[in-house]
Chain A
Amino acid sequence: MTTAVPRLVEVRRNVLKQNDVIAGELRRRFREAGVYTVSLVSSPGSGKTAFLEKTLSRLGPSHRVAALVGDLATENDAARLRRSQAPVRQIVTGTVCHLDATMVRDALEGWNLADLDFLFIENVGNLVCPSSYDLGEELRIVLLSVTEGEDKPLKYPTIFNSADVAVITKLDLADAVEFDWDAAVANIRAVRPNMKILSISAKTGDGMDEWQRFLEARIA
């Protein structure tokens, strides 16, 4: 006869353990292969793809680069990134609003990681959900475009706190939208003290030299 009184049993189990295990395996594979992996997160329309396209084109001549790009429904971003000549694979997530480590692992199938110096992973445009999922990346970049407003970091502190570097994009539009640089920096550092902040314009190329030097220093 079973008793109807429940018994409380302590367990310790990370809900995303499976993702974290796969992300840990990916990180080990990336390090063993000597490929430096950078993921990009931001809201939709902040300029991730333009930034990444310019990054791939700039690094391409001197480094071996490749990219994975997540999108809910289209292959448009991958088509744009392929103009850089780098190998690019699209991860179409369907209704899923973020990438997880399994999607990254599956998308890498058949690529020899040892043939790469840099791998970029462009997440789905979303400032909420990607923060929960480790992708095995070495560096997580969060983008903030000048057109979004300086208070975005305060509205989405978790994703900014989970990132290593903030990149302010669309600098060429800063004057037109009266972007308050000091407020943006203060807000980013309020949610993530001491965070490294870069600013760029993919259109004019402003700031791209410093970004490139920053990346190259990672693998030096």
Chain B
Amino acid sequence: MAPIGKVKKESINWKEIKKQRVLLLLSAGYVLYGFIFCYLPLAGWLMAFENYKPKEGFFHSEFIGLGKFRQLFLDDGFIKVIRNTLAMGVINLVTTMVTAIVFAILLNEVKSQGGKKVVQTISYLPHFLSWIIVTGILHDALSGTGIVNDLLVRFHLLKEPLNFFAYPKYFWWIVAFANVWKETGWNAIIYLASITAIDTSLYEAAAIDGAGRWARIKYITLPGIKPTIIILLLMNAGNVLNAGFEVQYLLGNGLVQSVSQTIDIYVLKWGISQGDYSLGTAAGIFKSVVSIAIILIANEMAKRAGEERLF
């Protein structure tokens, strides 16, 4: 929330530190954790600038500057995986957010407390399944003899079963569907929480003024959760390039590989499988840099629009 009035800027002195020592001690663990697991490994970025060979190690591998980055951007395959990653990232972001918000609002309108709880519990259960199980179910359901084809054929929507995984045009949407199915219930929790935070007297007042359900959603609920939506959108925008690894890796096959492979799969394929750790690291760096850039841009846009923002 934007600060109200002016806050006197205090210089931090020993007395202050002493007063907050418990908090400081508590946070020390997290700082240490972040340092060890998030910052120390960054030293490994050095690998992207040398022709890294495990045998020669970090300090004796040949230094080649930006050679690996050049190789990366001259490879059609890499350009393709950037496209796939961005496309799937954006599709996933939009679909999962919209469904979660709609679901949260619908759930909020349910009057029966018991029914609401049951629906909520059931809907977020898939979140706890691992991707290997979800993709297994999906593979089964969408196969030629699976339930989806069965239904489509019985309702005469299709003449013959359609092998969904054989056509590149369906792949991104299958991934989006998988994400929506798995995460909608879970993502809705945070919106539900922020809806409950809206002052109920607003609803009462609106009802007295003659606002119907639809009008109350439109003029009270949605504006009420707007800050939450913006913040989550900003945070997720930084994750667009993390469009996934397991789903695409597990659902992909030779026929759809040109649309299914993401940057993470590319890193695995060339960095790990083919042992070109430098190339893999370079691709990873590229991904991180672009992600940071996306967050900064999105944050700036939010700032200009006078909305809630991350920093």
User: A and B, one complex?
Assistant: no
The residues of A with any CB-CB pair to B shorter than 8 Å are none
